Structure 1
Amino acid sequence: MLKSRLKQMWKNRIQYRFKSPLQSNCPEFARLFPQGAKLQRVARGFEFTEGPVWFGERQVLLFSDIPANIIYQLSATGEVTVFRKPSHHANGLTRDRQGQLIACEHGTRRVTRTEMDGKITPLAVSFNGKKLNSPNDVVVKSDGAIYFTDPPYGIEPQQQEQPMQGVYLISGDRTETEILLVADDFEKPNGLAFSPDEKTLYVDDSQRRHIRVFDVLENGKLGNSRIFADMNVKEPGLPDGMKCDRQGNLYCTGAAGVWIFNPQGTHLGTILTPEQPSNCAWGDDDGQTLYITAQTSLYKIRVNSPGIPVFPSLPA
């Protein structure tokens, strides 16, 4: 029994290296990575990973294992430990302007904030008197506004109370919040990310297999919806979690790996992954490591352009 446990611990901690799987569509793609960049598997043995977010002051990456009902943390030494169990089947994770953890919970159908003392505060549990579907992914704007997607992936069809699969905005101060519906015409809204100047918000639709982009208006609402990129290909895999780097390039998980688009929507190339990826996040001291959650494993690869900081983890 002890030998078996030690063997499993070693498997979870060892780093698995792969030949650089960079599938380029144009010369611009190669400049995004240092020469000889390799994809590494840094942890394995999970049920379904999601929601990575970097905590720079603690040098750890948090990520969800949705079916296992656990939020894990990966240390700088590669050790994986339990951060929270039960996690209420948490999915997307991020941090607010005070650095506190914001989580989308499938099990409770809510968005929560973890206070400095460890208390968990619900931020969104219903809209128009009806339960949310199953909050999926979340981003926080520099002014503190929180945007999240609400597809029905975490519930049975008969449990759905909302008449739509929406994108929501949690606005207001920390003592009194207001929940606004800012987009209601998605089939399955999923990942979302701001451009570096926060003037645009990207939201993908997993059902339609494309990414849309919106103008962010002064009141926080969204306007001028248009298709940014079509990810509908023959290979299995849907657009899911995504992040922007500081040059405005968009990294979106999809069929076969992580697709990278420039700000004009051109598909520059793909980071091929051994497993279907679900989400990604910037980490390490310089923000130049892309961590990728993918089915049963966690991967990482070095990049040249730092990611947009998740306050206050990455250097500005």
Structure 2
Amino acid sequence: MATANKQGRDDGNAPTQDRRRFLARAGAGAAALAGASVWAQGKPPLGPPSTVTTPPRDFGPGAPPTTYFWDPDVIAVDPSFNDLAQPNAAIQRLWTGAGWAEGPAWNSVGKFLLWSDIPADRQHRWIEDDGHVSVFRAPSNNSNGNCFDYQGRQISCEHLTRRVVRYELDGSITILADRWNGKRLNSPNDAVPHPDGSVWFTDPPYGAQLYEGTPDPAGGKSNRAGRLNNRIGQPAGVGDARQELPTQVYRWDLSGRLDAVVVDDKVPNPNGLCFSPDFKKLYVASTGPAGKGDIHVLDVGTDNRLSNQRVFSDCMVDGVKCGPDGIRADVFGNIWAASNAGRAVGYNGVTVWNPEGKLIGRIRLPEVCGNLTFGGPKRNRLFMIASQSVYAVYTATQGAAPS
């Protein structure tokens, strides 16, 4: 019978090996070769091309295969990641053509992926059976984050109208939140449902950009000089709101009550958020020029009050700031975070952190990754929304919660 070391790997002395561990070990070696491979003196790379080879990997549908036992852009920083990644699965680009894609959500009943194209003011849908992509909703009020609650209803964060809405099963729309203490919200960004029926969401100011919504009226925080016309291209009466609130995290209750649960910029520019599998921790990403580029974690009490805020990760990898955006937890409590490293080739994509905040894996993409979610019939496929495109890779784990 084979014996294994503390990392769960075969010790090499056994006559037989578990197939999956063999693939992981072989794949890790191939990935290491690919990561170091470059064109040198006209010689081809030692392994399949990746995002960091010269020339870089082609992600197009007609590109040559790059995966033998491990995708060269799926990197195990720590051996524990070998149990989460799928050795014989390749990263696939499913679609491209967005202005700025965001807010992926998986519909388990319809078996489709939904996401927002914020500047195009629409939502798209990718259907799993044939890979067909169509416009799902237009206009979308420059929607950003989306999710499906535990009753299967779609929830969307709208930049233009500065509100969170729910699409009911009969096709009607319910406004869940647009004001707090009588003041308009900034631009709700990302939302997650809770089994108790509540919806938790972040409210940074990104919707006040000309590209992703509408700027404040003259004199407002995003239009101090008043040179931008906030009404151009907008319906009458839309676009006149201005930033009145600090950037906060909110909890909407079934009673209709809205509470600020992370207040007064305690997490500057809160963006992506997710719960731990047991809902006892809330993770919040701080993003953008005014953010800290890190992930915070808070304890969730039985009364839904948050406490013990601390930094979960500074999101520094090899001295490169991999700014987090959307985040999701898997069933083991690992946090999968979208990575925006700007022009640092090889660091855009996804970073994966264990529950203690240790980096254990990375997924490299050729574009900045803005958000991600687990989906597919088994909830084991990671969908990555990256700038203009949608990527996916199968994993050996599952998302902790729907959408």
Relative to 1, partners in 2 of residues 1:22 and 1:86: Cα closer, same or farther, differing over 3 Å? Answer: same
Counterpart AA for 2:279: E
Counterpart AA for 1:258: V
Distance (Å, rounded) in 2 between the aligned partners of 1:58 and 1:280: 19
Does 1 or 2 have the higher relative contact order (CA < 8 Å, sep 6+)? 1
Counterpart contact for 1:47–1:295, Cα < 8 Å: yes
Distance (Å, rounded) in 2 between the aligned partners of 1:273 and 1:188: 25
Counterpart contact for 1:14–1:78, Cα < 8 Å: no
Q: TM-score, normalised by structure 2?
A: 0.71
Q: Could you tell me how far 1:236 is from its partner in structure 2?
A: 6.6
Aligned residue number for residue 32 of structure 1: 84
Residue of 290, 301, 307 corresponding to 1:223: 307
Q: Which moved more, 1:146-155 or 1:14-23?
A: 14-23
- What secondary structure, in the 3-state scheme, does the structure 2 residue paired with 1:28 have? helix
Distance (Å, rounded) in 1 between the aligned partners of 2:369 and 2:183: 32
Is 2:399 aligned against 1:307? yes
Distance (Å, rounded) in 1 between the aligned partners of 2:77 and 2:297: 22
> CA offsets, 1:270-298, max 9 Å, x none?
11111000111111111110000000000
Counterpart contact for 2:98–2:388, Cα < 8 Å: yes
Distance (Å, rounded) in 1 between the aligned partners of 2:61 and 2:139: 26
Distance (Å, rounded) in 2 between the aligned partners of 1:45 and 1:60: 18
Aligned residue number for residue 181 of structure 1: 260
Is 2:304 aligned against 1:251? no
Is 2:248 aligned against 1:166? yes
> CA offsets, 1:64-112, max 9 Å, x none?
1111001110001111011100000110001122110000000100000
Q: Could you tell me how far 1:232 is from its partner in structure 2?
A: 4.2
Counterpart contact for 2:205–2:243, Cα < 8 Å: no
Residue of 205, 219, 224 corresponding to 2:286: 205
Q: Which moved more, 1:153-162 or 1:259-268?
A: 153-162
Distance (Å, rounded) in 2 between the aligned partners of 1:245 and 1:138: 17
Aligned residue number for residue 51 of structure 2: none
Residue of 73, 78, 101 corresponding to 1:49: 101
- What secondary structure, in the 3-state scheme, does the structure 2 residue paired with 1:198 have? coil
Aligned residue number for residue 4 of structure 1: none
Residue ranges of structure 1 left out of the alignment (5+ in a row): 1-12
Q: Could you tell me how far 1:237 is from its partner in structure 2?
A: 5.2
Q: Which moved more, 1:226-235 or 1:131-140?
A: 226-235
Distance (Å, rounded) in 2 between the aligned partners of 1:48 and 1:18: 27
Aligned residue number for residue 324 of structure 2: 239
Distance (Å, rounded) in 2 between the aligned partners of 1:246 and 1:80: 29
Residue ranges of structure 2 left out of the alignment (5+ in a row): 1-59, 209-214, 216-220, 223-240, 342-347
> CA offsets, 1:201-260, max 9 Å, x none?
000111201100011111212111011111146647521001011011100011311110
Distance (Å, rounded) in 1 between the aligned partners of 2:66 and 2:124: 24
Counterpart contact for 1:14–1:43, Cα < 8 Å: no
Counterpart contact for 2:349–2:386, Cα < 8 Å: no
Distance (Å, rounded) in 2 between the aligned partners of 1:25 and 1:238: 18
Cα root mean square deviation, aligned: 1.7
Aligned residue number for residue 59 of structure 1: 111
Residue of 362, 369, 377 corresponding to 1:270: 362
Q: Could you tell me how far 1:161 is from its partner in structure 2?
A: 3.3
> CA offsets, 1:27-78, max 9 Å, x none?
1112211222211000011111111111121111111111100111000111
Counterpart AA for 1:294: A
Counterpart contact for 1:15–1:42, Cα < 8 Å: no
Counterpart contact for 1:133–1:151, Cα < 8 Å: yes
Distance (Å, rounded) in 1 between the aligned partners of 2:66 and 2:195: 36
> CA offsets, 1:107-151, max 9 Å, x none?
100000001111111100011111100000000111111110000
- What secondary structure, in the 3-state scheme, does the structure 1 residue paired with 2:81 have? helix
Pair member with larger Rg: 2
Distance (Å, rounded) in 1 between the aligned partners of 2:85 and 2:376: 16
Write out the 4+ residue segments of structure 1 that deviate beyond 2 Å after TM superposition: 13-19, 156-163, 232-238
Counterpart contact for 2:316–2:322, Cα < 8 Å: no
Distance (Å, rounded) in 1 between the aligned partners of 2:138 and 2:61: 24
Percent identity between the two aligned chains = 39
Is 2:277 aligned against 1:192? no
Counterpart contact for 1:47–1:67, Cα < 8 Å: yes
